[in-house]
Chains A and B, each alone.
Chain A
Amino acid sequence: MTPLFQTGNGVRVRKGSPPGHIRTPFYVRGCKGVIERVAGEYRNPEELAFGRFDTPVVPLYRVRFQQQEVWPDYQGNPQDSLDVEIFEFWLEPANPEKT
């Protein structure tokens, strides 16, 4: 599966809250970040959690967020950032091209 995003691309985390097993922390859902690196491809843990061990692999990314984006009342250095590993199906382009 070819990764949809490359290092440097702006992304936004989907705001979903489905039942089941979710690897995307609640606190970054809806936040804007930048792809720090493509972190490989792995089987989807959200399906593995239900015992489906043979699903296809999906790209995983390390996404960098500014702390102030994640925590609006963040008091630390404005340059501080936070990296979270997120599967591709949780991400969409930060500035989708107009069609």
Chain B
Amino acid sequence: MERDFTSRSHHDMGGLEAGHVKPAEHDYEFWEKNVDAMLVLLTSMSPKLMSVDQLRKGIESLPPDAYEKMSYYERWIFSITQALQYNGVLATEELSRKLEEVQSRYETEEV
């Protein structure tokens, strides 16, 4: 597929056909509420650790296929992680070790 990087960004979809919208309420998962609360804290601390503009930019940087496949809060946590790495709040190695720890706990604990 040929992509034109000088025109419309994928996320900037105002005016495009949206298809059918299902007007149904849905509950948020606990982790989704965690992600929302985390962003509020990170952007309102003094000094703040990231900006909502950084959140937006990170989401907008997702390739179109990832943008479409990921859920709303999956895009958020992807972007929050990147911003915190970029701003020096999280070291990549630290993040990697923590993810391994969580993964192994998940695999050994009974769900």
Taking beta carbons and an 8 Å cutoff, which residues of A are in contact with B?
A: 17, 19-22, 25-27, 45-46, 48-51, 53, 70-71
User: Please, which residue of chain B has its CB at the minimum distance from the CB of A27?
Assistant: B15
| Number of residues of chain B lying within 8 A (CB) of chain A | 19
List the 3 closest pairs (A to B, CB-CB), nearest first. A21-B57, A49-B57, A48-B53
Contact with A along B1-30 (1 / 0, CB 8 A): 000011111001011000000000000000
Is B81's beta carbon under 8 Å from chain A?
no
Contact B8 A51 (CB under 8 A): no
Is B97's beta carbon under 8 Å from chain A?
no
The minimal Cβ–Cβ distance linking A77 to chain B, given in whole angstroms, is 18
Classify the secondary structure of A's interface with B.
loop
Contact A48 B51 (CB under 8 A): yes
User: Please, which residue of chain A has its CB at the minimum distance from the CB of B56?
Assistant: A21
Contact with A along B36-69 (1 / 0, CB 8 A): 0000000000001011011011001000000000
- List 7 additional A-B contacts (Cβ < 8 Å) besides A21-B57, A49-B56: A17-B6, A26-B8, A48-B53, A48-B54, A50-B57, A51-B54, A53-B48
13 contacts between A and B (CB under 8 A): A17-B6, A21-B60, A22-B9, A27-B14, A27-B15, A45-B53, A45-B56, A48-B54, A49-B56, A49-B57, A51-B51, A51-B54, A71-B15
